[in-house]
Amino acid sequence: MSSWPHHPRPARPHSHTALHQAPHPPSPQPPDQSPHRATAAYVTLAGADWLASASPFPQSVHALWCDQPSAPVVLPCGTTFDVISAPALFGRRLLDRLWSAGPGSGPVAAQRGRLLLFAAPGTAQRLPALLAWEEWSRAVPPLLCHGKGDAVTAPALYPPGDEEPTAPVSRWLVAPEVRHPWLPGPEVLLWACVRAAREGATAESAGGGGIEAAPFATPTPAPR
C-alpha cells in the first residue's frame, strides 16, 4: 500500500450546475483571496443545494440560510452522504494523505477539535469492518462514523466576519462547491487511514512526536 492503487479521482463537474428555484443566500468572495481559496472556504450556491438535499425539507433549509446565512444546520446522514469524524491531529494527517498521494477528498470541515470528512453513503457502516481486518488498525484512533439514522451539524455557509466577537466552533476546510460532489468510499478512506497510521508511527519512532499541533490549513489539490 505504498501508493494509491485505484483509478484517479473523477473530474469535477462544472461549478455552474443548474440550481433549484428556491432562494439562496449570497456567497461572498473577499477580494484578497484567490478563486480557489474562496471556493475551498465558502459554500457555493450549488454546494448549498447539495447540502440542503440531505434534508427531507430542503426548501426549509434554504429558507433558514436566507434569513441566517451564518447559522450552522443539522443534517441527516445516510442518504446524501455519511460523515467520518477523526481526532484533529490524525484527521489532518489523513487529509494530507488523501490529497498528496490519493484521489483527493470530498467536503471536509473542522469542528471542536475533530475533522469531519464527508463520505459516500454506506461508508460509516463498512469502514469499521474493513479497519478491523487491517494490522495497522490499532494505530488508528477511534473514528466516529455517522451513517443512516445519525445527523451532523454542518458549518455555516461561510465563516463570520472579523468583527464577530467569537470564532466559529466549526468551519469548512474544503467546502461543497458543486451539486454532485465526488465523495470517498470506504476503500479510499481505509487506504488513507492505514497510510496515516503508518506514517504517524514512523514519525513517533523517529522522535518527532507526530505532527505538530498547528492550525488547520486548506489542502492544496493534487495535480490531475
> What pLDDT, on the 0 to 100 scale, is given for residue 71?
87
Is the model's pLDDT at 67 over the cut of 80? Answer: yes
Is the model's pLDDT at 198 over the cut of 80? Answer: yes
> pTM for the whole thing?
0.75
> What pLDDT, on the 0 to 100 scale, is given for residue 37?
34
> What pLDDT, on the 0 to 100 scale, is given for residue 142?
92
Q: What is the pLDDT of residues 111-170, one digit of tens each?
A: 999 999 999 999 999 999 999 998 888 899 999 999 999 999 999 998 766 665 555 678
Residue with cell 523517529: 206
Across the chain, what does the average pLDDT equal?
Answer: 78
What is the Cα–Cα distance from 62 to 68, expressed in whole angstroms? Answer: 10
Q: List alpha helices for the chain, DSSP H.
A: 35-41, 45-52, 58-67, 88-100, 123-132, 186-205
**Confidence grade of residue 41 (pLDDT, cut at 50, 70, 90):** confident
Domain ranges of the chain: 35-160+168-205
